[in-house]
């Protein structure tokens, strides 16, 4: 027969257990030390529960520093904590300007640590030939990948900004028509890059996705959204169709698990076999093989009216769902298991939406939403809105008329850059404004909040400026 436990001992066990639960409940969230790519992760969720060091109590009192740059950063910065640069340890910001200059910047002092200017930059500097892709850090944190307007993707050492052997990788035969618009991504051993077009859609160009071996710089696979039966980088003039830009801020969105990727396309012909204008396309990794696609029933109207579906970025939601919004002012909820409503094994057709909603300000969407579990935050040129996903439907939580680029949710606060010249900080559950920080005006720029810093690029790529600024707000 077991020996009875003494009352005092039993009470001590209960108190110890209760204390452990209380400590666990009060345990602080882990600190967010790195922001290695646009959207924070390959899924482009733009969200994290980790602590940034910035709170509702201190966000209005951050120290502000403006850094002068040799160009405009019409994209998003990235950030690495505690990396070695030129023999010293730095918390570093990395940005790429519209003319392909990539810089490493000390987050504390604002000092530029190194500058990489792509060879031949004088040929396009000050012209309409630009790039708006955000750079990305290699998972090993020793390299940063960045784009330049001559159609090249570079692999630069974090330590000194030097190009690595075997690089750059050329992903277009005609960089004067095929623009490196969207952000870079990583899936396993592959770097994912894509092409769009320039303002005015001057033909010929083809939106295509390229998988590049991160080690060697060799092209591993190509998917052309027009003439997709051709699996190499082609001269667009040799395809019977043109356009189908991959122009969204996210570019390729890697699905959870890393086995598939989503891309959205702009205006172009659609035939459901080789041409996929105005579509959301799912490809398998690492070979970029076509799996399925969603195309609106009014695709022909979108194409003829310049209402690119792919101006906005696809987002992956819980419950095997996907979201997309574009220039036509409609948000579409899709079944990721069957994008067009039929199994992926069947030929694609148009339609298949689960839910359609108007965009926040009934305007064109050029942004990437923030996704936090069943919460979705969307901004456009006329408003910002929050949804809760329930029963395979999006239900509005709050909305306002404040414009924004791609929102980020970090450390319990929602940050939305208003390109008119402010950074608005919200309580995500209610939409209550916590702070409004003054920053220069911009275009597609979006902020990051990490490691005690709030970093905001500004300026418009279409101004073709060779100078610009970066604003760094810091806790200390």
The pLDDT of residue 244 is: 98
The DSSP result for 353-387, as a single string, is: -SEEEE-TTSS------EEETTEEEEEETTEEEEE
The pLDDT of residue 14 is: 39
- Secondary structure of the chain: what % helix, strand, coil (to 5)? 10, 40, 55
Q: Which helix (H) or strand (E) holds 13?
A: helix 7-26
CA distance 50 to 265: 33
- Provide the b/e sequence for 236-257 (b: ≥16 CB within 10 Å): beebebbbbbbbbbbbbbbbee
Phi/psi at 263 (5° precision): -135, 150
Distance of CA 361 to the CA centre of its chain: 21
What is the share, in percent, of the chain residues with pLDDT greater than 70? 94
> Nearest 5 degrees, angle CA 252-CA 332-CA 41?
30
**In whole numbers, what is the pLDDT of the chain averaged over residues?**
94
The pLDDT of residue 13 is: 40
CB atoms within 10 A of CB 8: 8
> Given the structure tokens 């609106």, which residue do they identify?
296
236 by DSSP, 3-state: which? helix
pLDDT digit string, tens, across residues 142-195: 999 999 999 999 999 999 999 999 999 999 999 999 999 999 999 999 999 999
pLDDT digit string, tens, across residues 338-347: 999 999 999 9
Phi/psi at 269 (5° precision): -65, 155
List Cα–Cα distances, 36 to 32, 77, 211, 433, 464, in angstroms.
11, 9, 19, 28, 27
Q: Could you say which DSSP state residue 309 is in?
A: G
- pLDDT of residue 17 exceeding 70, the answer is no
The pLDDT of residue 26 is: 53
CB 344 within 8 A of CB 320: no
The pLDDT of residue 27 is: 65
For 424, residues 6+ apart whose C-beta sits below 8 A from its C-beta are 384, 402, 404, 415, 416, 417, 418, 433, 435, 436
The DSSP result for 420-445, as a single string, is: TTEEEEE-TTT--EEEEEE---BSS-
Q: How confident is the model at residue 476 (pLDDT cuts 50, 70, 90)?
A: confident
Specify the pairing of strand 185-187 against strand 190-194: antiparallel
**Region of poorest pLDDT, from 15-19, 61-65, 418-422:** 15-19
The stretch 362-374 carries a mean pLDDT of 97
The stretch 448-456 carries a mean pLDDT of 98
pLDDT digit string, tens, across residues 287-301: 999 999 999 999 999
CA distance 297 to 295: 7
- pLDDT of residue 7 exceeding 50, the answer is no
Cα end-to-end distance, the chain, whole Å = 63
CA distance 96 to 93: 10
Number of helices (H) and strands (E) in the chain: give both, helices first. Answer: 2, 33
Positive or negative torsion for Cα 116, 460, 307, 382: positive
Q: Which among 3, 44, 56, 368 has a CA at the least distance from the CA of 184?
A: 44
- pLDDT of residue 22 exceeding 90, the answer is no
pTM above 0.85, yes or no: yes
Q: Which among 374, 378, 276 has a CA at the least distance from the CA of 329?
A: 378
CA distance 62 to 434: 13
Q: Which among 452, 451, 458 has a CA at the least distance from the CA of 474?
A: 452
The pLDDT of residue 29 is: 81
**7: burial class by Cβ within 10 Å (0-12, 13-18, 19+)?**
exposed
- Provide the b/e sequence for 300-324 (b: ≥16 CB within 10 Å): eebbeeebbbbbbbbbbbeeebbbb
């Amino acid at each position: 027969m077991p020996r009875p436990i003494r009352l005092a001992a039993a009470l001590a066990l209960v108190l110890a257990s209760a204390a452990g639960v209380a400590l666990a409940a009060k345990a602080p969230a882990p600190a967010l030390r790195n922001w290695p790519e646009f959207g924070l992760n390959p899924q482009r969720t733009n969200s994290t529960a980790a602590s940034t060091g910035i709170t509702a109590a201190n966000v209005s009192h951050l120290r502000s520093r403006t850094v002068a740059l040799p160009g405009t950063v019409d994209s998003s910065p990235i950030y690495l904590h505690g990396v070695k640069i030129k023999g010293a340890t730095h918390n570093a910001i990395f940005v790429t300007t519209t003319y392909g200059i990539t810089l490493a910047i000390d987050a504390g002092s604002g000092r530029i640590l190194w500058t990489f200017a792509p060879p031949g930059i004088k040929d396009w500097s000050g012209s309409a030939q630009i790039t708006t892709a955000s750079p990305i850090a290699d998972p090993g944190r020793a390299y940063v990948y960045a784009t330049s307007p001559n159609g090249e993707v570079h692999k630069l050492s974090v330590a000194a900004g030097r190009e690595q052997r075997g690089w750059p990788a050329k992903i277009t035969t005609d960089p004067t028509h095929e623009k490196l618009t969207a952000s870079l991504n990583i899936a396993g051993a592959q770097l994912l890059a894509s092409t769009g077009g320039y303002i005015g859609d001057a033909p010929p160009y083809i939106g295509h996705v390229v998988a590049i071996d991160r080690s060697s710089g060799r092209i591993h696979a190509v998917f052309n959204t027009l003439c997709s039966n051709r699996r190499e980088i082609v001269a667009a003039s040799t395809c019977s169709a043109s356009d189908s830009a991959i122009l969204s801020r996210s570019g390729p969105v890697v699905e959870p698990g890393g086995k598939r990727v989503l891309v959205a396309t702009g205006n172009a012909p659609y035939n459901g076999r080789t041409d996929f204008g105005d579509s959301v396309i799912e490809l398998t990794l690492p070979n970029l093989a076509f799996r399925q696609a969603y195309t609106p029933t009014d695709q022909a109207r979108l194409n003829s009216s310049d209402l690119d579906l792919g101006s906005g970025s696809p987002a992956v939601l819980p419950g095997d769902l996907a979201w997309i919004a574009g220039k036509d002012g409609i948000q579409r909820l899709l079944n990721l298991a069957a994008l067009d409503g039929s199994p992926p094994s069947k030929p694609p057709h148009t339609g298949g939406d689960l839910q359609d909603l108007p965009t926040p300000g009934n305007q064109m969407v050029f942004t990437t939403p923030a996704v936090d579990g069943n919460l979705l935050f969307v901004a456009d040129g006329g408003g910002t809105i929050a949804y809760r996903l329930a029963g395979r439907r999006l239900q509005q939580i709050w909305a306002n008329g404040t414009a924004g680029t791609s929102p980020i949710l970090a450390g319990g606060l929602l940050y939305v850059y208003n390109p008119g010249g402010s950074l608005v900080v919200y309580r995500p559950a209610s939409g209550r404004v916590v702070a409004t920080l003054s920053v220069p005006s911009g275009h597609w720029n979006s902020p990051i909040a990490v490691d005690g810093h709030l970093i905001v690029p500004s300026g418009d790529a279409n101004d073709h400026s060779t100078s610009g600024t970066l604003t760094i707000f810091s806790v200390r």
